């Protein structure tokens, strides 16, 4: 028996929710530090190209699978292919959602913890990089601190997904996304008006071609997937609540533009500030939690801006984490006929449990390494470097080669007739990119990840 399925209340609701999924820790935490470690502008340039030629085409494909089938990833692939293999590809997305959320929520938890640190004015007690780094180590080394905020963030995520598509995810996104934009623009203006901001701008906008290596390209492509929430069915699931009256190409373009804009705004806010107070841009994952507090302690109005910053980071993370949980919940609701409420609670508890070893890898289980990774790094590596690219590859291959353009195009045209008639060139480019360029390039990234894995195996055997 087919239960009636929820839908978005409006087109804007879908765009904000999907942009909310895309915009997250990836934009504000990961993008600046990867760019900072990989030559700034040169990385940014390659990243923009990856977003345009691979991210956008795959995003359109993923939303389309969802909207056409109105199912979770497993049900969607099965409905279109009638094959267990493709259903398993959808299953991989559900597993990825489970796994990504188990470590994503830990970092998001730090972000909440840092709102409190900022409110308490603690950054002024640790005004240089070494003591700030030590303070960070002490916090994540404190088991009740890390577990408490992790649990708190999971509860926030659960409550929103529990409340459903329109009343939960859409409403939360409609409130939080505009707030996030405003906060980040304030932070960017603060950065741009600091003395010495131009060095940061140079770093972000003047490419140094000599810094571009194969590694940069592969990192940029991997990040393009992560930041657009591609390859694990989040966009597919959000697309499954979308109306056939709305245009997928236009929606996808809007999502990509918003996501990229936010990454660049966050990057500008962060690098202008970091350079203005004379700190290094290449601190890696600690850039936000170790370097930035020092930056805030030195900038005029730093107390106020530090609070705004960590509130923004938390909001961004929350609108992404709900999409991760929704993928898993929709699977249990559609396929196993669970009640949404039960699914949201039970799955959140399991995701928390799965995240415990990752959270403990910053303290108690510090020394335990699997293939050279601690639990946290292992979960991140499996999800971001294996499951997402592989999922993206399968999505491109499925839409372009298995489902086939003769069936794909009539579905894609729904709500987008004008787009197709007005931009025939873009439509052809989409077909070609998705069929040839995306699979080949994604495959290369994937090989690279496996290569990394092999190197690690060699070290340990």
Binding site for ligand PHE (CB under 6 A): 21-22, 24-27, 100, 226-227, 229, 232, 234, 320, 323-324
Measured over the CA atoms of residue 445, residue 448, residue 453 and residue 456, the dihedral's sign is negative
Joined tokens for residue 40: 């700034």
| Least distance to ligand PHE, CB of residue 28, Å | 8
Strands (DSSP E) found in 114-158: none
| Least distance to ligand PHE, CB of residue 434, Å | 19
Planar angle of CA 71, 59, 415, nearest 5 degrees:
70
| Least distance to ligand PHE, CB of residue 21, Å | 5
> Taking the CB of residue 420, how many other CB atoms lie within 10 A of it?
15
Of the pair 302, 355, the CB lying nearest ligand PHE is at: 355
Of the pair 21, 438, the CB lying nearest ligand PHE is at: 21
| Least distance to ligand PHE, CB of residue 263, Å | 8
| Least distance to ligand PHE, CB of residue 31, Å | 8
Phi, psi values for residue 200, rounded to 5°: -65, -40
- Whole-angstrom Cα distance, residue 100 to residue 355? 9
Question: Any idea how long the chain is?
Answer: 461
Task: Specify whether the CB–CB gap between 14 and 251 falls below 8 A.
Answer: yes
Task: Specify whether the CB–CB gap between 282 and 298 falls below 8 A.
Answer: no
Of the pair 14, 419, the CB lying nearest ligand PHE is at: 14
Of the pair 25, 295, the CB lying nearest ligand PHE is at: 25
* CA nearest to 101, candidates 370, 339, 445, 349: 349
CA distances for 400 relative to 50, 59, 66, 87, 224, angstroms: 19, 13, 15, 17, 20
Task: Specify whether the CB–CB gap between 413 and 129 falls below 8 A.
Answer: no
Chain position carrying tokens 């003395």 = 195
- Whole-angstrom Cα distance, residue 461 to residue 427? 49
Of the pair 133, 184, the CB lying nearest ligand PHE is at: 184
Phi, psi values for residue 430, rounded to 5°: -55, -45
Of the pair 297, 384, the CB lying nearest ligand PHE is at: 384
Of the pair 234, 274, the CB lying nearest ligand PHE is at: 234
Strand partners, 373: 370
Buried b (16+ CB within 10 A) or exposed e, 77-116: bbbbbeeeebbebbbbbbbbbbbbbbbbbbbbbbbbbbbe
| Least distance to ligand PHE, CB of residue 101, Å | 8
| Least distance to ligand PHE, CB of residue 190, Å | 23
Joined tokens for residue 283: 């601190």
Strands (DSSP E) found in 247-383: none
- Whole-angstrom Cα distance, residue 447 to residue 449? 5
| Least distance to ligand PHE, CB of residue 304, Å | 25
| Least distance to ligand PHE, CB of residue 320, Å | 4
| Least distance to ligand PHE, CB of residue 349, Å | 20
The number of CA neighbours under 13 Å toward the Cβ of 151 is 9
| Least distance to ligand PHE, CB of residue 144, Å | 26
Of the pair 46, 416, the CB lying nearest ligand PHE is at: 46
Planar angle of CA 384, 236, 162, nearest 5 degrees:
90
């Amino acid at each position: 028996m087919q239960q009636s399925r929820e839908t978005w209340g409006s087109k804007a609701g879908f765009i904000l929710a999907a942009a909310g999924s895309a915009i997250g820790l990836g934009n504000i935490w990961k993008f600046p530090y990867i760019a900072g470690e990989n030559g700034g502008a040169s990385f940014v340039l390659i990243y923009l190209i990856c977003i345009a030629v691979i991210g956008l085409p795959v995003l359109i494909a993923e939303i389309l699978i969802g909207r056409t089938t109105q199912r979770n990833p497993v049900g969607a692939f099965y409905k279109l292919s009638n094959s267990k293999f493709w259903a398993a590809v959808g299953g991989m997305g559900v597993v990825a959602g489970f796994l990504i959320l188990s470590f994503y929520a830990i970092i998001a938890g730090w972000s909440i913890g840092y709102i409190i640190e900022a409110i308490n004015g603690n950054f002024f007690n640790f005004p240089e990089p070494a003591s700030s780094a030590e303070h960070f180590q002490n916090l994540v080394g404190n088991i009740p601190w890390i577990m408490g905020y992790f649990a708190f963030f999971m509860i926030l995520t659960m409550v929103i997904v529990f409340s459903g598509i329109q009343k939960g995810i859409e409403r939360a996104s409609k409130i939080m996304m505009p707030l996030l934009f405003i906060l980040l623009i304030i932070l960017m203006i603060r950065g741009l008006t600091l003395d010495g901001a131009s060095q940061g701008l140079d770093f972000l906008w003047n490419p140094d071609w000599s810094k571009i290596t194969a590694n940069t390209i592969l990192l940029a492509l991997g990040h393009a997937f992560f930041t657009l929430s591609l390859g694990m069915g989040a966009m597919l699931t959000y697309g499954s609540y979308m109306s056939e009256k709305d245009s997928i190409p236009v929606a996808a373009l809007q999502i990509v533009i918003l996501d990229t804009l936010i990454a660049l705004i966050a990057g500008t806010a962060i690098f202008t500030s970091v350079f203005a107070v004379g700190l290094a841009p290449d601190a890696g994952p600690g850039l936000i939690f170790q370097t930035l507090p020092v930056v805030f302690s030195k900038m005029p109005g730093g107390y106020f801006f530090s609070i705004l910053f960590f509130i923004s980071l938390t909001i961004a993370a929350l609108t992404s984490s709900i999409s991760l949980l929704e993928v898993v919940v929709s699977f249990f609701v559609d396929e196993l006929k669970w009640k949404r409420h039960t699914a949201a609670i039970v799955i959140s508890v399991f995701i928390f449990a799965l995240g415990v070893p990752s959270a403990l890898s910053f303290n108690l289980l510090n020394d335990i390494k699997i293939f050279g990774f601690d639990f946290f790094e292992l979960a991140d590596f499996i999800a971001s470097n294996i499951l997402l690219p592989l999922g993206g590859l399968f999505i491109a291959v499925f839409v372009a080669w298995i489902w086939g353009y003769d069936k794909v195009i009539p579905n894609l045209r729904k709500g987008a007739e004008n787009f197709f008639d007005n931009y025939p060139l873009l439509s052809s480019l989409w077909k070609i990119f998705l069929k040839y360029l995306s699979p080949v390039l994604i495959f290369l990234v994937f090989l690279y990840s496996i290569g990394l894995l092999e190197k690690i195996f060699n070290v340990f055997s």
